[in-house]
């Protein structure tokens, strides 16, 4: 048996239908009830320490997280979850879910991904139920957010490439929103940061989809340390 197709060579690269696009926009909208607005991914500590003071610094920090941190690794988890559900492989899905839950570098980052994953699945099962999600188990313990999104996308035959792109864009937008509130920045500066990140996202997505679980790793050490220090930050608006 040859290697599995990846990236633009696999079934998940098919074109979006209008309904697919609408569903992805709904699932990864800021209004979807996962509580994403309450997490800063350690950014609150970075800003509080004075290391990020303007739009340029915010854009650089987020770009590094996308390239070298949870941005890339979460996309790998999402893709492997999608492939496991699309292939009906419960064992592979369990392996991805366990690794994704263990991969969080701090207590708050673990809370961030597991709480959002649980909330996402709760909403999906209530409104868009699918027997394919039974591969996650009835109670779906410790399902990280990218695993929940990848599994749900496959369960509803949403293309992998589009789902990964939408997830990465939503992750970036949530960090920009946190920065706008914390620095603070004006809305226009926030949009400028998103515009700077736009060209990076397709390449990051393509690289992650061409990878596998053996390639998961990160070197966004400052972001990981920030999430640990945030746990004892005196004044906090965010949960991570």
Which percentage of the chain shows pLDDT scores above 70? 92
pLDDT of residue 12: 56
Residues 36, 53: Cα–Cα separation, whole Å: 22
According to the model, what pLDDT value does residue 139 have? 56
In 3D space, the residue among 36, 26, 40, 224 whose CA is nearest the CA of residue 116 turns out to be 36
The tokens describing 20, both together, are: 């697919």
pLDDT at 142: 81
d(CA 2, CA 167) in angstroms, rounded, equals 29
Closest to 62 in 3D by CA, of 231, 233, 215, 197: 197
pLDDT score at 27 = 98
Q: Please, are residues 20 and 162 in contact by the beta-carbon 8 Å criterion?
A: yes
User: Can you tell me the distance from the alpha carbon of 99 to that of 113, in angstroms, rounded to the nearest whole number?
Assistant: 12
6, 79, 93, 181 from 206: Cα distances, Å: 9, 11, 21, 31
User: How far apart are the C-alpha atoms of 10 and 163, rounded to whole Å?
Assistant: 14
pLDDT on residue 11? 53
Q: Residue 3: which of 57, 83, 67, 59 has the closest Cα?
A: 83
CA angle 239, 53, 224 (to 5 degrees): 45
42 φ/ψ sector (left φ>0, alpha ψ -120 to 50, else beta): left
55-89 pLDDT, tens digit each: 999 999 999 999 999 999 999 999 999 999 999 99
pTM for the whole structure: 0.93
CB 30 within 8 A of CB 100: no
Asked if 239 contacts 39 with a C-beta cutoff of 8 angstroms, the reply is yes
- Interhelix angle for 55-68 vs 160-182, to 10°? 150
Supply the pLDDT for residue 124: 96
Q: What pLDDT sits at residue 98?
A: 94
User: 103, 129, 126: which is closest to 215 by C-alpha?
Assistant: 103
Q: Specify the length of the chain in residues.
A: 240
Rounded (5°) CA angle 4-63-54:
165
Residue 216 and residue 239: Cα distance in Å, rounded? 25
Low-confidence ranges of the chain (pLDDT < 70): 1-14, 138-141
Note the pLDDT tens digit of each residue in 10-26.
Answer: 555 667 899 999 999 99
Q: Which pLDDT does position 6 carry in this prediction?
A: 52
pLDDT of 234 = 87
pLDDT of residue 15: 76
């Amino acid at each position: 048996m040859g290697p599995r197709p990846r990236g633009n060579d696999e079934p998940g690269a098919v074109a979006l239908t209008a309904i697919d696009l609408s569903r992805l926009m709904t699932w990864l909208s800021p209004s979807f009830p996962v509580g994403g607005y309450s997490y800063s991914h350690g950014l609150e500590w970075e800003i509080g320490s004075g290391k990020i003071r303007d739009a340029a610094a915010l854009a650089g920090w987020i770009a590094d997280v996308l390239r070298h941190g949870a941005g890339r690794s979460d996309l790998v988890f999402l893709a492997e979850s999608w492939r496991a559900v699309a292939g009906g492989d419960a064992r592979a899905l369990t392996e991805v879910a366990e690794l994704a839950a263990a991969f969080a570098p701090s207590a708050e980052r673990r809370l961030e991904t597991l709480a959002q994953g649980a909330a996402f699945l709760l909403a999906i099962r209530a409104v868009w139920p699918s027997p394919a999600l039974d591969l996650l188990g009835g109670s779906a313990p410790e399902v990280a957010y990218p695993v929940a999104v990848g599994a749900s996308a496959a369960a509803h035959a949403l293309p992998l490439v589009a789902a990964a792109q939408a997830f990465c864009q939503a992750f970036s937008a949530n960090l920009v929103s946190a920065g706008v509130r914390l620095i603070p920045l004006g809305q226009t500066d926030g949009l400028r940061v998103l515009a700077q990140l736009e060209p990076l996202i397709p390449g990051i997505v393509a690289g992650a989809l061409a990878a596998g679980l053996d390639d998961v790793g990160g070197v966004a050490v400052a972001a990981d340390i920030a999430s640990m220090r945030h746990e004892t930050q005196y004044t906090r608006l965010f949960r991570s």
